[in-house]
Structures are given as C-alpha cells and as structure tokens.
Amino acid sequence: MHRQPENVDVVTFLLSEMGTSGSLDGQQHLVVKDKYVICGCCKSPDTILTNGNHLFFLICEQCGSGHFVVPIKAGFVASWTVFGVNGDWGFESTVEETENHLSHASTHHGIYDLQVREDDDWQMVQKQGNQFVVNDQPFYVNGFNTYWLMVFAADQSTRGKVSELFHQASSAGLTVCRTWAFNDGQWRALQTSPSVYDEEVFKVLLLLNSHASKALDFVISEAKKYKIRLILSLTNNWDAYGGKAQYVKWGKAAGLNLTSDDEFFSHTTLKSYYKAHVKTVLNRVNTFTNLTYKNDPTIFAWELMNEPRCTSDPSGDTLQEMAVYVKSIDAKHLVEIGLEGFYGPSAPDRAKFNPNSYATQVGTDFIRNHQTLGVDFASVHIYADSWISQTISDAHLQFTKSWMEAHIEDAEKYLRMPVLFTEFGVSAKDTGYNTSFRDTLISSVYKTLLNSTKKGGSGAGSLLWQLFPDGTDYMNDGYAIVLSKSPSTSNIISLHSTRIATFNSLCSTKCKWGCKKKNPLEEFLYHDDL
C-alpha cells in the first residue's frame, strides 16, 4: 500500500472496517484474523471474499461452502458457516473475541442463532412500495403473537413471563410480536367505562404517572431490550377483553338506543369512545423509556381492531374514519386494519379463494378495505382448521398455499403494499393433529413467503399464533407453541429467521434484488431442506 509503518491510521481503519484483530509482522505485512481467509469447513485458503452492507461472505473454491463474517463493535467477530459439502446443507454461528472482551453465543436445539443489531439501527419501520424498510434496508418479518402480555405484566407474580418469552423469541430470531393494547370492562380492566380508567388499575396497568409498575410500558420497554418490535391492537371484534360489544354495552348504559354491535362502527358516540382510547394510548409517555408511544420505534404498527367484521356495511367505509384518526395523531407509525383476509363484493372473481361461502357474508372485503386512506399494509389470517375442517388433512396445506399466493398477488397488483400474515397456526385439539403436521404447515407458510421474498414481492412476513413461555399452559387455546418443548418446530422457526435476517442484511432497497445472489448464498436461502 506504500504507507509508512508508523501510519497506524491505515491499519486501524482496516481492522475496524473488518471487525477483526491483526498486527504488522516483522516484514511490515498486515496479518488479520483467519476468519477472512480460511474456509470454515475444509480449512482451505482458496477462498473468495465478497462483502455488502457490512456483512462479508467467504466462498470456498474447494468445497463450495460459504462463511458469513459480520463486524461488530467492541472487537467482536460474528460468523455463520453455511455447509454445502456433497449436497448436505446446514449452518452454525459463532461469536469470537478479537480483543479482551466478553463473548456470547446462544445455542438453540442444534441451530445456532445470533442477532446482530445496534441501537443506531433502531429506527421506525417504514413502507417503500410493497416492502417494509428500516434505514433503507428491507425488513422482512418472522414474528409471533402473544395477546396477553399486558395482563401478565400487571401482576408482579407473572411479569417475569413477559421477559422469559421475549428472551426465547429473540433467541429464535423472531423480530415482531403482536399483542393487545386494550382491556375494556373485563377482569383487570384498563378502561372501566368510556374514557374512565380505574385509578388502582392504572397504578399497575397504563396511564397514572406514579412509581408503580406500568404494564404496557413494561411490555414495550422489555421488547426493546430484546430488539423485538410490537404490533399493538387497539380493540377487539370479539367479546374477549371487552371489544366492540363492551363499547355497545357502555352506550346502552348511557341511554343510547342501540340494536346491533355493528353500531360500534357508525354511531357517533361509540366512535368517540374508541377515538378517546386511541388518543390516550398513542399520546402515552412510557415511564420506563420516557418516550411517547407515538414516537417509539419499538412499535412496528397500530392495528385498528382484531378481526373486524361489520355485516351491515361490507364496503369498508366505516373503517376509513378510524384509520385517518389514528394517522391524525401519529403520522410516523404504520397502520393496518387487522382483517382476516376474506374477499367481498368488490372482487367477486376472488371469492373462489375464500374457505367457504359464508366468508363473503361476514362484512369484510380484503380488496376494498385495504384501499382505505391511511392504511399502510394488508393483514391476513390463516386458519384452515377453523374455516374448512377441524380434521387434519392435506386440504389444509393446499388451502394455505393458495390463500397466501392469492393475497400476495393482490397486494402486488392492486394494493401495491406489503401483506403480513398476522395470524396462522393449527390447534392441538384438532382431530388427527400431531407436531409433524404442525411443522409441515409452518414450513409451507415459510416456503411460500420465501418464494415472494426472492422476487422482492409483497409477501412481507408472518406471525405465528401463538408463542408461550413455560408454565402458562392454563392460557393455551390449543395453538400455543413452547419453544423449549418443541425442538423440531423451534429449528424450523430459527432457520427461517436466519434466512430472513440474511436478506435484510445483504440487500438494500435500491438493489431491487438485481444482484441475483449466487451459490452458496442462494442455496442457503432457498434450499428445500425443511
């Protein structure tokens, strides 16, 4: 390089950029850590080093294996080895000290996973066209649901389960959790009546500024510790935790002449109740982080309602006002409706993809509703066992694939937005259920999404219903997955997380996937080994 030995800035720069250690030898040659030279499989030095977006990829010309090396602050090197010998594929990850620093690696049922992130990257998730992005990098999602986090956080005896769950989810590479930001008129109710919050409940739940723990504050701050973002749902279509039925009860108690729960969407007073709750939550200042919710990047998106249905007005016009109101308070965060994905009157040719004829009559319209002003991305649920038959069969897999492909196509052609499959799973209570079928279903969902991902399509990710920590079986609705008790399922989730993380790390939105990633990276991402 024709630089003087005393010019240490050059050496410091090179080592810093590569995130490794090294030194000048007696002949003034720079000697660096062999992770950048030696193949991790066959130990051959015949390798090619490529890099992109601070992630290096070492390709062995002898055995064809690949080796990721990621620079990390404070002198650490993280690496993934992608084995490709004789058609046998797999991977592992390690973290090594390059100086006198502590190191850590987590093992997960034979698949090793490392989350490499920095606070500087903890920015708002945004939408560009049909993709989610963070800092101009794509953000494809592998996530989960656990709806009861706020209730557990309200009780000192169960609060630790929230941290335990986030730790397990993070270890599996999951990056987004969907949970409830409401509890209306029920046990441990947050909102006891419209805009009235019980003071004693407030002290542990949400809004009173005191020294007592605040449950939703805790959930959000704890999620950030584990680098998990949250989709917060603002109310429920169903009676659980109150929902629209509770708003109607409050209206009747106030003397309103109400005849249907659907009036939640249309009656001026009931809409004002909902808006007051939205305003309270979005303007809340977190007592752990001092961040207003509407300014916190930990929140991925606001969900208007869990599985809204309005049989009296399937057009979706009533949902438009709700979305616009949320945006009027918080223009920074993404907004989604919370739909199940049923096709309605605006697209009669798509009704063939519905699970049954009744689905067209429940008062939702996937195409029309997602054309609503203020909605940023589409949501879809997948429950073949509830919608088709509670007896396990291959028909469930066939439906899941066609259901997903239809919605991904519509999101690309008509909606021009990402689509997130925000609930999917299979119940252990179904006739013929076994964990092998559950694994096959999850793998099928992930494979369909990867087929979209590799084309830069609208299939933006999925959220399992649902993830539980140990010792919470009494909350199980049949769909719960406890990672520590489900090694095969955990492996599938972790592998998909690593594939998604690789995409999010290697591609920028400007790339448009024109790089046509070559083997072995392409094989690692798409090889059908699940």
Residues marked active site are found at: 307, 423
β-bridge partners, 82? 66, 91
Which pair of tokens denotes residue 507? 């591609």
Asked whether the bond before 466 is cis by omega within 30 degrees of 0, the reply is yes
N-to-C CA span, the chain? 47
Phi (first) and psi of residue 168, to 5 degrees: -65, -40
Q: Where are the beta strands (DSSP E) in 425-502?
A: 459-465
Of 40, 173, 44, nearest in space to 108 by CA = 173
Alpha-carbon 331 to chain mean position: 21
Q: Are 338 and 400 in contact (CB under 8 A)?
A: no
User: CA 341, CA 16: separation in Å to the nearest integer?
Assistant: 48
Q: Are 172 and 108 in contact (CB under 8 A)?
A: yes
User: CA 102, CA 246: separation in Å to the nearest integer?
Assistant: 52
Burial class from Cβ neighbours inside 10 Å (0-12, 13-18, 19+) for residue 414 reads: middle
Q: Where are the beta strands (DSSP E) in 341-458?
A: 378-382, 419-424
**Residues near 130 by Cβ (< 8 Å), separated by ≥ 6?**
411, 412, 416, 417, 418, 456, 457, 458, 460
**Residues near 510 by Cβ (< 8 Å), separated by ≥ 6?**
136
Q: Are 203 and 149 in contact (CB under 8 A)?
A: no
Of 249, 94, 85, 110, nearest in space to 172 by CA = 110
User: CA 424, CA 496: separation in Å to the nearest integer?
Assistant: 15
Phi (first) and psi of residue 231, to 5 degrees: -100, 115
User: CA 79, CA 81: separation in Å to the nearest integer?
Assistant: 7
Of 276, 298, 254, nearest in space to 119 by CA = 298
Strand order in the sheet with 141-145: 334-336, 299-303, 229-233, 176-180, 141-145, 459-465, 419-424, 378-382
